[in-house]
């Protein structure tokens, strides 16, 4: 057997000795609980609004959720074949893969290289971004294919996980940067020619067959191995979902006169849900994050759920309770390190929630090592509870989005949702908390058999930005060959 390391210790469940905490601290904990707890009624209210917003996003007038058609127009059968390059420009890493879809049903081989996305590139210059990406690709191709001057152009699926208008599958007009990116001169422009120019300059032999979102990739990759997969989600640095709509329900595509039953994958970009602040119970900390972000007023939902923000919400609470309140946590200690924006990522919260010890000694170590702060026991209890509140709220809110798509599409039984991303895969209890919230929102009865599946199950997805991108490249080539030229800007790349 491979990959089975030592079993992780069970994490301590729930809050321990809160009763011993001083009164003022208890008051603060109670206040945080009020701010961050979302009860069933509120979850249902949010979901109800969400369903309407999904529909609004598909209308000609539009709404705050972009609901971007992607020109991915079929589901895989498992019999797709061929070898493709896939490039993933996510929020944190850059990944290049060579994916081979084999003759065997639903099987694939993958070779990949990961590159860290340098922090300064995220807010730097557009040319530098494209040059960096082209260099990584060049290096990969030289390593795995040899001399680039002797190669024919290789088809590539480009996972560009930001909101993009796609009039064509091989186009992506960036609507706005998300996930903390802020690079001038890209918003409002088609990123494909910029990317291709950098490739041409270096002689990188590539033809772009599809620009995709990570959620669409996740959906398609998951459907390759499990036909019950209906929704693809990412809960990572950002948060978003994709599903398949029929063109007849997309009024903003009506002018194209596509047959109403034609399938079309929609990249929801649901991070933008409730940007107008109608239903989400935002706390002063959420408001502060938004105000200091590069795009205030955008991605309201995402800013309460995604990995990029969870640690920052926690940090703001800690600083606030040190500075302003009677309790004055970490009194007399230097909190200079804690004052640094975005210094705590979601793995910091994961570690707090994973601390298995009653006295929270691992949390103490974490604070001492990372922040040079030594919380006392009541403060450690407050820290633990705060992490639980933030993590639970994120999981419960994410269930509203999944429920909304399921309600809109009438997916009431046997619906699988493929999910990926660091929060989904690594944040403790995220899956279980999300499943509890789904049950509350959708009024499922208690299970009679614990092994029985829920009507909607959120499961670990297949690799969307690698296998998914390759599959979408394959499906697009296939449909072009079959004469479906809808949403193809450069047919010459499909020969
Ligand atoms: C952000 C992006 C979206 C992406 C998500 C997950 O919400 O706007 O395109 O799917 O992050 O990476």
Q: pLDDT tens, 298-332?
A: 999 999 999 999 999 999 999 999 998 678 899 99
* pLDDT at residue 170 is higher than 80: yes
Sequence-distant (≥ 6) Cβ neighbours of residue 273 within 8 angstroms: 50, 53, 64, 65, 280, 300, 301, 401
* pLDDT at residue 6 is higher than 70: no
> How does residue 191 score in pLDDT terms, banded at 50, 70 and 90?
very high
- Per-residue pLDDT at 157: 96
Please, what's the largest Cα pairwise distance for the chain?
74
Q: Does residue 363's CB lie within 6 angstroms of at least one atom of ligand 1?
A: no
Which atom, in ligand 1's list, is nearest to the CA of 161? 9
Task: Taking each helix axis as running N to C, give the angle between helix 307-323 and helix 346-354, from 0 to 180 degrees, rounded to the nearest 10.
Answer: 70
Return the structure tokens found at 389. 């509140």
Q: Does residue 214's CB lie within 6 angstroms of at least one atom of ligand 1?
A: yes
State in Å: Cα 272 to ligand 1 middle.
10
Rounded Cα distance between 316 and 338, Å, is 9
Residue whose structure tokens are 């590069």 = 294
Q: Does residue 271's CB lie within 6 angstroms of at least one atom of ligand 1?
A: yes
Calculate ∠ Cα 21-37-302, nearest 5°. 120
Mean pLDDT, rounded, of the chain: 94
Q: Does residue 307's CB lie within 6 angstroms of at least one atom of ligand 1?
A: no
Catalytic residues: 161, 176, 214
Q: pLDDT tens, 54-108?
A: 999 999 999 999 999 999 999 999 999 999 999 999 878 899 999 999 999 999 9
Contact 82, 475 (CB under 8 A): no
Q: Give the 3-state secondary structure of the chain.
A: CCCCCCCCCCCCCCCCCHHHCCHHHHHHHHHHHHHHCCCHHHHHHHHHHHHHHHHHHHCCCCCCCCCEECCCCCCCCCCCCEEEEEEEECCCEEEEEEEEECCCCCCEEEEEEEEECCHHHHHCCHHHHHHHHHHHHHHHHHHHHCCHHHCCCEEEEEEECCCEECCCCCCCEECCCCCCCCCCCCCCCEHHHHHHHHHHHHCCCEEEEEEECHHHHHHHHHHHHCCCEEEEEEECCCEEEEEEEEHHHCHHHHHHCCCCCCEEEEECCHHHCCCCCCCCCCCHHHHHHHHCCCCCCCCCCHHHHCHHHHHHHHHHHHHHHHHCCCCCCCCCCCCCCCCCCCCCCHHHHHHHHHCCCCCCHHHHHHHHHHHCCCCCHHHHHHHHHHHHHHHHHHHHHHHHHHHHHHHHHCCCCCEEEEEECHHHHHCCCHHHHHHHHHHHHHCCCCCCCCCCCCCEEEEECCCHHHHHHHHHHHHHHHHHHCCCCCCCCCHHHHC
State in Å: Cα 379 to ligand 1 middle.
35
State in Å: Cα 269 to ligand 1 middle.
7
State in Å: Cα 294 to ligand 1 middle.
15
Rounded Cα distance between 167 and 70, Å, is 8
CA distances from 182 to 170, 178, 238, 294, 325 (A): 23, 8, 15, 7, 34
Q: pLDDT tens, 405-419?
A: 999 999 999 999 999
Q: pLDDT tens, 431-470?
A: 999 999 999 999 999 989 989 999 999 999 989 999 999 9
Q: What is the pTM of this model?
A: 0.94
Which atom, in ligand 1's list, is nearest to the CA of 179? 1
């Amino acid at each position: 057997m491979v990959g089975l390391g030592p079993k992780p210790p069970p994490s301590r469940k729930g809050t321990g000795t809160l009763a011993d905490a001083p009164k003022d601290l208890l008051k603060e904990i109670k206040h945080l609980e009020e701010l961050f707890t979302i009860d069933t009624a509120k979850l249902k209210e949010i979901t109800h609004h969400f369903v309407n917003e999904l529909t609004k996003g598909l209308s000609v007038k539009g709404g705050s959720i972009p609901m971007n058609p992607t020109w991915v127009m079929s589901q895989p059968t498992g019999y797709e074949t061929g070898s493709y390059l896939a490039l993933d420009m996510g929020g944190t890493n850059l990944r290049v893969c060579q994916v081979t879809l084999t003759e065997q049903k639903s099987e694939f081989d993958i070779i990949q290289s990961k590159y860290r996305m340098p922090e300064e590139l995220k807010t730097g210059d557009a040319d530098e971004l494209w040059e960096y990406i082209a260099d990584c690709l060049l290096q990969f191709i030289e390593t795995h294919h040899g001399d680039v001057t002797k190669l024919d152009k290789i088809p590539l699926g480009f996972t560009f996980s930001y909101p993009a208008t796609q009039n064509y599958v091989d186009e992506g007009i960036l609507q706005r940067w998300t996930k903390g990116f802020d690079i001038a001169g890209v918003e409002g422009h088609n990123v494909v020619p910029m990317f291709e120019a950098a490739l041409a300059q270096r002689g990188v032999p590539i033809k772009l067959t599809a620009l995709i979102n990570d959620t669409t990739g996740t959906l398609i990759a998951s459907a390759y191995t499990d036909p019950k997969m209906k929704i693809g989600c990412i809960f990572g640095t950002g948060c978003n979902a994709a599903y398949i709509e029929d063109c007849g329900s997309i009024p903003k595509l009506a002018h194209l006169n596509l047959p109403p039953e034609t399938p079309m994958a929609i990249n929801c970009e649901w991070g933008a849900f409730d940007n107008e602040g109608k239903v989400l119970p935002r706390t002063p900390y959420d408001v502060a994050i938004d105000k200091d972000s590069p795009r205030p007023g955008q991605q309201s939902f995402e800013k309460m759920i995604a990995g990029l923000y969870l640690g920052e919400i926690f940090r703001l609470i800690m600083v606030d309770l040190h500075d302003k309140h009677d309790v004055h946590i970490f009194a007399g200690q230097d909190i200079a390190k804690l004052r640094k924006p975005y210094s705590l990522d979601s793995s910091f919260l994961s570690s707090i929630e994973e601390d298995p010890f009653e006295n929270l000694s691992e949390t103490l170590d974490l604070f001492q090592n990372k922040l040079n702060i030594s919380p006392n026991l009541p403060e450690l209890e407050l820290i633990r509870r705060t992490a639980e509140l933030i993590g639970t709220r994120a999981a419960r809110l994410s269930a509203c989005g999944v429920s909304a798509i399921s309600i809109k599409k009438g997916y009431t039984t046997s619906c699988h949702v493929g999910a990926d991303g660091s929060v989904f895969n690594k944040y403790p209890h995220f899956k279980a908390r999300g499943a509890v919230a789904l049950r509350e929102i959708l009024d499922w009865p208690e299970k009679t058999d614990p092994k029985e599946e829920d009507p909607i199950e959120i499961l670990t997805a297949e690799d969307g930005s690698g296998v998914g991108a390759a599959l979408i490249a394959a499906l697009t080539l296939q449909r072009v060959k079959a004469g479906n030229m809808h949403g193809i800007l450069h047919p010459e790349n499909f020969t």
